Amino acid sequence: MFLFIVATGYAQAQVYRSVDKDGNVIFTDQATEGAVKVEIKELETIKSLETTSPAPSQAQDQTQEKIYDSLEITNPQNDLAIRENAGNLTVTVAVTPELRSGDNLMLYLDGTKYASGQSTSFQLQNIDRGTHQLRVAISDRDGQEQISSTPVSFHMLRYSVANPSTAKPTPKPSRK
């Protein structure tokens, strides 16, 4: 009720504060026995300044244009286990429409830039055993990222030289 009175025009009514027999504080516009008149100060208001939005620059217009429709890693597939003892992997990328002249594909392995170029195929070598994440992005001439792929995880399975039990078994001699 107090907020309603204040918000609807405190100049029209007096506000009184009292405490009932249970100790509850009551604000009202009726003077009752034991009520104290509350002095409400006028709130200071400040008019906002009129602002105009600046016209977007030509550079902003170009960055807001959608240049590429899609970008995805087509190989390896997400969550794929790769048995490659040398740790090598070919990553292929699909981009629509095709990559513009001057733009570059950037391949990220575990969040770190691994390679860049205009080819839609990347050769990874000597990748450590374990789970890794790939992401590819396209950057323009100014280094601004235009689009990024959904990350893809893969699991590199390599024999361990430290753990002989997982080492590649030696083939049994064949009988002639």
67-157 architecture in CATH? Sandwich (2.60)
Query: Residues 55-61: what's their mean pLDDT?
Result: 55
Instruction: Output the CA torsion sign for 108, 110, 113, 119.
Output: negative
- Break the chain into its structural domains and give their ranges: 2-38, 67-157
Q: At 40, is the pLDDT very low, low, confident or very high (cuts 50, 70, 90)? A: confident
* Cis bond upstream, residue 151 (ω within 30): no
- Could you tell me the sign of the dihedral formed by the alpha carbons of 4, 6, 10, 15, in that order? positive
pLDDT of residue 37: 87
Section 124-151 average pLDDT: 93
Q: What pLDDT is attached to residue 31?
A: 85
